């Protein structure tokens, strides 16, 4: 059995909870806000309204909420049907189920039919820890990115998720949102502006620029700060929209840095690193590329914080990987 031994109670506790934003509560709060503004939003979930916070939306707009039970594929197909009536459905469940189990329904009923469904895959990556391989979502970016006309978005924290949700109310394509467990490290203030399809550039480093998405942005930011304090020239790009990718931001880094390091809570095969590699391979660039994430394996079963440390996805780990490259 693939279990990490010798764990202490402190190792699985989320640290500094007072500094973390409950990104899952953002989902219901923002949908209530959008509904109040007149947007025809609806919401649904597969028996996880308490885990993803949509119970709050259900209380505010009971006629716009559907509890599908444990029938994720039916939920996605029904959401596509709701979209044909003029609604904008937001359906949410664990990313391991939404990004893999419902792939056919997303491809045929949502994307192929060009329906404005918003798919919310939460508890993504390795954030489910002890629940193991069946609940880890380390292939969903590659799966969703391969579906034509489907946007793939991975917010870094609750504040960014809120802004991108607001943009999604008028976005013409279906969207797959990939979010964390709900208590994500704070990266941005509430009023920070974001735009779907436009990367957030924190700086381009002459030595190295890290391109990260999702929860990896927090660790990458800490790593960049440490590298700059150590005398290196390091930069960071938050690639929250993985598809459509901000190619201009990738090329800016690839032509002004010696090294580009991609970081993601995902298999390095087919995810953000692959998307960046495709752009760099098809254009004249000067930088060397290194992909960092889950190295094409099934993640261990362990508390999330220990997994982030093991796979060097926390600040210290990302700094160590970057330092080795430098």
Mind telling me the catalytic residues?
72
Task: Please say whether the beta carbons of 213 and 240 come within 8 A.
Answer: yes
How far is the CA of 210 from the CAs of 232, 264, 291, 308, in angstroms? 13, 11, 10, 17
Answer whether the bond into residue 244 is a cis peptide, omega within 30°: yes
Which residues, 6 or more positions from 67, have their beta carbon under 8 angstroms from its beta carbon?
A: 44, 45, 47, 49, 58
Task: Please say whether the beta carbons of 180 and 27 come within 8 A.
Answer: no
Which residues, 6 or more positions from 207, have their beta carbon under 8 angstroms from its beta carbon?
A: 227, 232, 233, 234, 257, 258, 259, 326
> Alpha helices of the chain — where are they, by DSSP H?
23-36, 55-60, 72-83, 95-96, 103-105, 140-145, 158-168, 216-229, 247-254, 272-281, 304-310, 315-325
């Amino acid at each position: 059995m693939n279990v990490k031994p010798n764990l202490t109670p402190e190792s699985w506790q989320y640290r500094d909870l007072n500094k973390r934003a409950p990104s899952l509560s953002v989902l219901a709060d923002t949908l209530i806000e959008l509904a109040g503004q007149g947007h025809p939003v609806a919401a649904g979930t597969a028996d996880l309204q308490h885990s993803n916070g949509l119970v709050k939306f259900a209380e505010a707009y009971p006629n716009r909420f559907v509890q599908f039970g444990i029938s994720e594929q039916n939920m996605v197909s029904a959401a596509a049907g709701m979209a044909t009536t003029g609604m904008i459905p937001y359906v949410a469940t664990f990313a391991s189920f939404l990004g893999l189990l419902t792939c056919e329904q997303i491809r045929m009923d949502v994307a192929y039919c060009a329906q404005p469904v918003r798919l919310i895959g939460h508890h993504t990556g390795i954030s489910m820890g002890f629940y193991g391989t069946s609940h880890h979502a380390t292939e969903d970016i590659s799966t969703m990115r391969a579906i034509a006309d489907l946007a793939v978005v991975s917010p870094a924290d609750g504040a960014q998720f809120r802004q991108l949700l607001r943009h999604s109310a008028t976005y013409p394509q279906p969207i797959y949102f990939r979010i964390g467990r709900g208590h994500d490290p704070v990266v941005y203030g509430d009023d920070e502006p974001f735009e779907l399809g436009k990367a957030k550039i924190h700086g381009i480093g002459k030595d190295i620029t890290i391109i990260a998405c999702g929860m990896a942005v927090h660790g990458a930011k800490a790593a960049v700060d440490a590298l700059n304090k150590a005398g290196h020239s390091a930069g960071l790009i938050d690639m929250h929209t993985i598809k459509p990718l901000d190619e201009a931001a990738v090329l800016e880094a690839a032509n002004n840095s010696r090294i580009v390091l991609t970081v993601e809570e995902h298999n390095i095969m087919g995810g953000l690193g692959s998307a960046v590699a495709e752009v760099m391979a098809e254009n004249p660039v000067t930088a060397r590329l290194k992909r960092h994430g889950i190295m094409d394996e099934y993640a261990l079963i362990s508390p999330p914080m220990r997994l982030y440390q093991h796979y060097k996805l926390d600040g210290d780990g990302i700094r160590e990987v970057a330092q080795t490259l430098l």
